Structure 1
Amino acid sequence: MARILVTGGCGFIGSHLCAALRVQGDQVLVLDDLSTGTEANLAPGATLLLGDISDREVVREVMSEVDACYHLAAIASVERGVQDWMGTHRTNLSATIGVFDAARARGVPVVYASSAAVYGSGGTLPLDEASILRPLSAYGADKLGCEQHARVAGHVHGVPTAGLRFFNVFGPRQDPRSPYSGVISIFCDRMRRGEPIDVFGDGMQTRDFVFVGDVVRALVRAMRHASVTAPVFNVCTGRATSVLALGAMIAELCGGEFAVRHRPARQGEIRHSVGAPEWAQERLGLGPAVGLRSGLATTLSWLRAGGPGLATRKDPAPVRAVVSAGTTR
């Protein structure tokens, strides 16, 4: 039984990962400040440590207790990076360096979240792990910095790592009310209630939508491949879907039409993004990805059953509050 730290483990992807780790019998510690996640998402049997991922002393203390780390905590918002460049940088890159630094004391392996945002725009599609990296946003630049510092962590400090370049992840627990939520959760929520959807630009921009269950499988298997060579893997399907085609599919599943309100294109938004999944599928031993229609149906079922309103715990969650650097209670 391994003792595993998951940063951001009360968030959308992190909570699904923690549940999978508990199923395989691991002890799970979650470090989360609940700025975007919720305590109600905490996996049964996991322990929540309330703390800031940017607090180096807190991270060092928690890392000293575990055998491995999944680092998912981040501010995953291109728009937030425009508004608060330095603040998002501290969370997305400086805090990641802090995780690697804390891991080197005991050689703790770290699997961390990177992003398709590292590719930017203009590369030949589909994007594979050897494609040119030209991030167009602060978020993408910070995620590329995470990958570069992972190489330093391995080459200089002997820390085994693996990075996963997430494309557009969707599924249950992605709260449509959150400003950081993805387009699918927002579209599903609005269409099932008969409300119009906002489309930025002409709606012909394309994305590679990957179901959260596939992301969790990739995360779990990537831990076996964490190495001082700092490998990175795409987590994607290889299938491109336009925003308008996505809306049409969701509308069909909801049994109705959909109305579109076109908004100005967003600054720094990538026009087309679709990944090549073959290398990750081969190296990580991943099976076929969940189809978009199937994943959408699952997400809609979750929303119809109560969605974010389901996030209530009947039993108190085990919590150890990290109140200041180096101090716990």
Structure 2
Amino acid sequence: MPDHVLITGGAGFIGSRLARRFVDAGHTVTVLDALIPQVHGDDPATTSPMLRSIADDVEVIQGTVTSTDDLRRSLARATVVVHLAAETGTGQSMYEIDRYVETNVGGTAKLLDLLTNEENDVHRLVIASSRSIYGEGAYRTADGRTVYPSHRADADMAAGDFEVHVEGEDALELIPTGEDARLHPSSVYGITKQMQESLIMTVAPTIGIQPVALRYQNVYGPGQSLKNPYTGILSIFSTLIRQGKEINIFEDGLESRDFVYIDDVVEATFLAATHDAAGGHVLNVGSGVATTVHDVVSALFAAFGTEVSTRVSGNYRLGDIRHNFADTTALQQHLGFTPSVSFRDGVEQFVQWVLTQPVEGDNYQRSLDEMASRNLLK
């Protein structure tokens, strides 16, 4: 039977595409979104393509998860909830702590409080968790043990040593990080995402709601905000390339992430909300491939057909990790789904979309200045 799906943060990059996926599958959708200018511009009805793409087909409630009244109104007919609403950005979270905790943790607590104490028809609750809760990813020692290195020391990185270290161990081999890995987030953002996930996975089963936690890796693709300097290096570097400006590559450029294409993320999330076998599980959503910053720059240059100067500066941000890429075995096991868009193909599609968009102002440098003024960027 069709569900009535509430998507918090549903006018955003992931949410708007997910809303379209549910509508196309015959479900009814309500979107709760704060429509903040950093993401949607000053007049969302005209400045937000994401909002415009769904406005005629879903109920849009402009509001916030920090408001009990907004949440209550949004939950009125919901049978499935996909909780995407969150403040995002590892760096920004380190100095806007109260805002991140209030929205991410406080908003989730309010949602669960309403579901616990007021009548509702919700049977499935999907939380958009994050790879950031792992902190550093998994590594294998020379004798075959799996270890999870602690956060890198400021003194080591200042000396140009950006690798992770475990006392008493020689060189470590990077391996995929599974859902049973140690959770030790290195940023306020990561801590709030861990708390969101823990709250939902603990409370929902006690009130008869099946929870699913999806630990998204680095999501990218057409529709990603080019205005928001906290959305990731693909958007940031694309804007710099179009402006003809130099790209400052942090650390040594060998730090890596798992980049997963938006269409794969939307499909995994749709299945998590509708597939019977998903209930109760925590699942990584990633490509399962580690991609370095140098790889990102190379792929963007190829897709744009042009290059700008690059500088490997040795700059680094406190709270950043060195490596993490997902083990996606459980995603295949429980949802029968494996992300299929390669990074090269995904970047080509992303760049083709970027070229249709206006060249945005350089908000990135302002974000770096904010971090440097707080001694978080070295």
For residue 163 of structure 2, what is the aligned residue in structure 1?
none
Per-residue CA shift, 1:213-263, capped at 9, x if unaligned? 000001000013579973211000110010011101111222223322436
For residue 340 of structure 2, what is the aligned residue in structure 1?
289
Tell me by how many angstroms 1:25 deviates.
1.8
Per-residue CA shift, 1:283-325, capped at 9, x if unaligned? 112144201111111111111122689xxxxxxxxxxxxxxxx
In 1, are the aligned partners of 2:131 and 2:216 still within 8 Å (CA)? yes
Tell me how many residue pairs correspond in the alignment: 309
SS of the residue 1:5 aligns to: strand
For residue 213 of structure 2, what is the aligned residue in structure 1?
163
In 1, are the aligned partners of 2:331 and 2:338 still within 8 Å (CA)? no
Tell me by how many angstroms 1:199 deviates.
2.1
For residue 100 of structure 1, what is the aligned residue in structure 2?
112
SS of the residue 1:100 aligns to: helix
Distance 1:182 1:51, change over 3 A: same
Match of 1:280 among 328, 331, 334: 331
SS of the residue 2:81 aligns to: strand
In 2, are the aligned partners of 1:151 and 1:229 still within 8 Å (CA)? no
For residue 79 of structure 2, what is the aligned residue in structure 1?
67
For residue 179 of structure 1, what is the aligned residue in structure 2?
229
Tell me by how many angstroms 1:136 deviates.
0.8
1:145 matched to 2:195? The reply is yes
Tell me by how many angstroms 1:196 deviates.
1.9
In 2, are the aligned partners of 1:200 and 1:263 still within 8 Å (CA)? yes
Structure 2 matches for 1:84-99, cutoff 5 A?
Answer: 84-99=96-111
Q: TM-score when scaled to structure 2?
A: 0.77
1:222 matched to 2:272? The reply is yes
For residue 115 of structure 1, what is the aligned residue in structure 2?
130
In 1, are the aligned partners of 2:83 and 2:128 still within 8 Å (CA)? yes
In 1, are the aligned partners of 2:261 and 2:341 still within 8 Å (CA)? yes
Q: TM-score when scaled to structure 1?
A: 0.88
Letter in 2 for 1:62: S
1:55 matched to 2:67? The reply is yes
Structure 2 matches for 1:1-329, cutoff 5 A?
Answer: 1-35=2-36, 36-38=38-40, 39=44, 40=48, 41-42=50-51, 43=54, 44-104=56-116, 105-108=119-122, 109-121=124-136, 123-124=138-139, 125-225=175-275, 230-261=280-311, 262=313, 264-306=315-357
Q: Which has the larger radius of gyration?
A: 2
Runs of 4+ in 1 over 6 A off after TM superposition: 226-229
Question: How many angstroms apart in 2 are the aligned matches of 1:275 and 1:73?
Answer: 23
SS of the residue 2:32 aligns to: strand
Tell me by how many angstroms 1:139 deviates.
0.9
Question: How many angstroms apart in 2 are the aligned matches of 1:63 and 1:257?
Answer: 49
Per-residue CA shift, 1:85-141, capped at 9, x if unaligned? 121001111111222232343251211100000100153321011111111111111
SS of the residue 1:289 aligns to: coil
Please list every run of 5 or more consecutive structure 2 residues that lacks an aligned counterpart in the other structure.
140-174, 361-378
Question: How many angstroms apart in 2 are the aligned matches of 1:2 and 1:242?
Answer: 40
Please list every run of 5 or more consecutive structure 1 residues that lacks an aligned counterpart in the other structure.
310-329
Tell me by how many angstroms 1:9 deviates.
1.1
Tell me by how many angstroms 1:264 deviates.
1.8
